[in-house]
Every structure is written in C-alpha cells, then in structure tokens.
Amino acid sequence: MSKAQFFNEKEETLPREELEKLQLERLKKTIHHVYECNAFFKEKLQQVGAHPWDINSLQDIQKLPLMNKEDFRKEYPLGMCCVEKKHISEMHMSSGSTGTPVVMPYTRNDLAQWGECMARCLAMAGTLPGDVVQITPSFGLFNGGFGFYHGVKSLGGFVIPTGAGNTSRQIKLARDFGTRVITGVVSYGIRIMEVLQEEGTQIPSLKIGIFGAETFTESMKKKIKSGLGIEVYDIYGMTETGGVATLGMDCPDHSGIHAWEDHYIMEILDRDTHQPVADGEFGELVVTSLTREALPVIRFKTGDLTRIVSRDKCACGRTHLRLAPITGRVDDMLIVKGVNFFPTQVEQALMEIPGIGSNYQIIIEESHGVRDVRINVEANPNVTGFVVEKKLKEVLGFSPKGDVFPIGYLPRQEGKAKRVFYKNLDVESP
C-alpha cells in the first residue's frame, strides 16, 4: 500500500482514548441541543425517561430512544429541525419514489461538516488538490451530486459536474479534461465500463473510482476494477446522516469501511432485541450524529446489516473503527420456498461466473399465495442456463427459474439500479 494520504490527519488518527473522550463530549452537547431546541426530540427522550444530564459515559447512549425512517416521514417536512428556518442554507431528501420523502436540512456548519467527511474520503482514495473529479450522480434533491461537490471543493479539486446519464458524453469529457477520479452509483460505474468495452477503448487518465448508494459486493468491485483499470472504493452515507460520505469509506488497504467516529457513534444491534452484539457479529447499524446542527439523528436505525471488523489502528494509519461492507438491509431479505436470502448473495454468485454480464433481474413471482423466483441474467454466448442454475443452487440451496440473455438486452435505469421486481401471476397484464 502506498503512503497514506489524509485530509485531516490529526482527527483521522486520534488515539482510541482521545477519540472516545471527544465522542462523549460531543454526545452530551448534541443531546442538550436536541432536547432544548426541538419538541419532537424532547418528547421522544422523555417517553423513555432520558434526559441530557443522564449521559455520563458512552455506554449511557443505550438509555436513549431509537429512531427510524418513519420518524422523518411523520415529521415531514421540518418537524425534526433543531434550528430556526432562517439558519437553513440547503436541503436534500431521499431518492425514494414512493411515500413521504425523508428531508435533511443543512446549516452552513452542516455543509462544512459534510464537505470535511467527503474530503477525507477523497484524500483517502488518493485524490490530490487540483485533480479532475467527474461527478456523475445527479445534482438535485438527491444528495449524491452535491455531496461529492462539497467535498471536492473542500479538498481543492477540479469539478466536472456532469450529473447522471449520457454516457458517451461522460466518456468524451473524461478524455478531454483528463478526469482522474470518477464518482457515482455502483450501477453507473458498470454502465461506463460496458460502453468502453463496446468501443474497445479506455480513459487513460482515470485512476480512481468512488462508488456508493447501492450494495457493493466484492465480486462487483473486482469486475469494475478490472473493466475500468482503476482502483475502486466503497463510499457510505445516507440522507438521514447528512448524505454520501458522512459515514465513511474503505481505504487503500480495503480492510473495511472507516467510520468517521469523531462525527458519529456507531452501534451494531441485534435486529430483534435491539441489544448490542459483540464485535465481529452481524447486526443492524444504528447511528448517532455528534456534529450536526439542523437535524442530528439519535440512535437512528439505518436498516443496514453489517459488523465491526476492527477497532485497531489500520495499516493506513487511521484509528477509526472499520465496518464490513453492507451485506443488505433488514427489509431486503427474500423468502422463497422456505429459504431466506439477500439480493447481494445472488449478485456475489453471478459475478463469480466467467462471462456473466453485470446486469440482472430478481423477479419474485406470486400465484395463489405461493412465491417463486426467476433470475434473469445477461452473459456472453458461452454461458449456459445450466451453468447459472448450478451456481445459484450452490449459493441459495434451490434452483431458481430464469433465462440468460445477450449483453445489453435487459433494461438499464438512470440513478440507482433496480434489481428486485415483483409480479403477481394471478393478475392478468393489460
């Protein structure tokens, strides 16, 4: 591994004792802030008999109530905001297409905090001041484009704010301006790779790819790394925590996602009992923000399944704990023929088949209350349905139905890729 690069070396390498002391100090301040400034949070704390003066150690965080996405929706649009509206500089909201959206307001300090977290990730990947960074997530209510923008500006980079789509133009701009770093959702990295393969070309200046917003299996990382000839990083964050990069990214050692513990407290809880699990065990990630002003989250249940890989100092020099890549979401688990599995297991299996494409569909078919699954994939002509079925049976424990299509046959989506579809066979198609 090459010499580590830092944006804020002092904070990123704090000894564990100092880091925890800082966390406690900031936790106390945050709880006082939400209690005094917002009726929703005050009532939420009082319901469980918790008060700001009850926080005397990091373990006392367990006295605080849990919150989830429904709290955001019930308090839409700004019922959870802890500052006056005149102090809000910007807002973003969830990219979901159904239901009441999740809104995140930002003060100027919140935007600076977001820029800091993103700049740390960019520097950790090897981005230097002056590097050309191409931002392919959209610039709008979804936080992706602006998150990268704030970080690149904090680092002192050269922004190409392309936004999503028009892949041929993306590639031309990257060549014309010498893009060194490209950012985007995982599936769009795949799309760029596919177009380059169709052209039989590469982007010579491109060295770094930072991708997020979708689960990112090891097999998919290897596919993009090989296809684009770059180093690939898995960036993490969500609307509720302040946006992309707020929760961290993996370093060049690729031994876990470094969580920015001076800005967030991470807990891994049992999905059913909500009690902490031992380091190394899988559970649901629960996040408490320590440095947000407009809307700090308190023990927010992310729905993401992961585990703590290590709290020891990493080979890159950072001391913040490392999380395993997100394996799925609590509500992503599929049950078919009595077997429980996650879409990421399907992706991991498919990407291990030589000649398989990067696009696939998991179609849950239901008829008279009975579920079945069909898995459609793209592949080169030498890949047979038997090979795909055999591999999936090894992983899932049963043989799903499905078909193998030529590369480019299945539809693509702008933004986040949709992998799971539901089809009611009892309802006739119009």
Tell me if 108 sits within 8 A of 124, measured CB to CB.
Answer: no
Tell me if 66 sits within 8 A of 58, measured CB to CB.
Answer: no
Residue position matching structure tokens 């006056």 = 84
pLDDT at position 430, please?
41
Instruction: Measure the CA–CA gap between 122 and 186, rounded to whole angstroms.
Output: 17
pLDDT at position 339, please?
72
Cβ atoms within 10 Å, residue 266: 19
pLDDT at position 429, please?
43
Instruction: Tell me the C-alpha to C-alpha distance, in Å, between residue 80 and each of 35, 64, 66, 287.
Output: 11, 16, 14, 16
Cβ atoms within 10 Å, residue 27: 22
pLDDT at position 414, please?
62
Fold of 333-424: GMP Synthetase; Chain A, domain 3 (3.30.300)
394: tokens are 């090894």
> Nearest CA to 410 among 364, 346, 363?
363
> Nearest CA to 305 among 335, 279, 278, 332?
332
User: HSE-up of 183 (CA within 13 Å, CB side)?
Assistant: 33
270: tokens are 């049992």
Strand 334-336 relative to strand 208-212: parallel, antiparallel, unpaired?
Answer: unpaired
> Where are the CATH 3.40.50.12780 domain residues in the chain?
9-16+78-329
pLDDT at position 130, please?
97
Tell me if 418 sits within 8 A of 376, measured CB to CB.
Answer: no
Residue position matching structure tokens 């959209």 = 138
| Bridge partners for 257 per DSSP | 250, 323
pLDDT at position 219, please?
80
Each residue's pLDDT, cut to its tens digit, for the chain (430 residues) gives 556 799 999 999 999 999 999 999 999 999 999 999 999 999 999 999 999 999 999 999 999 999 999 999 999 999 999 999 999 999 999 855 456 889 999 999 999 999 999 999 999 999 999 999 999 998 989 898 999 999 999 999 999 999 988 899 999 999 999 999 999 988 888 889 988 988 889 999 999 999 988 778 788 888 899 999 999 999 999 999 999 999 999 999 999 999 999 999 999 999 889 999 999 999 999 999 999 999 999 999 999 999 999 999 999 999 999 999 987 777 777 777 667 787 878 888 888 888 888 888 988 887 766 678 889 999 899 888 888 888 888 888 778 888 999 988 888 766 667 788 888 766 544 4
Give long-range contacts, CB 8 A cutoff, 24+ apart: 163-172.
163/135, 163/136, 163/137, 163/138, 163/139, 164/136, 164/137, 164/138, 164/188, 164/414, 164/415, 165/414, 167/191, 167/192, 167/195, 168/195, 170/134, 170/136, 171/195, 171/196, 171/199, 171/201, 171/203
Fold of 9-16+78-329: Rossmann fold (3.40.50)
Helix, coil or strand: residue 339: strand
> Where are the CATH 3.30.300.30 domain residues in the chain?
333-424
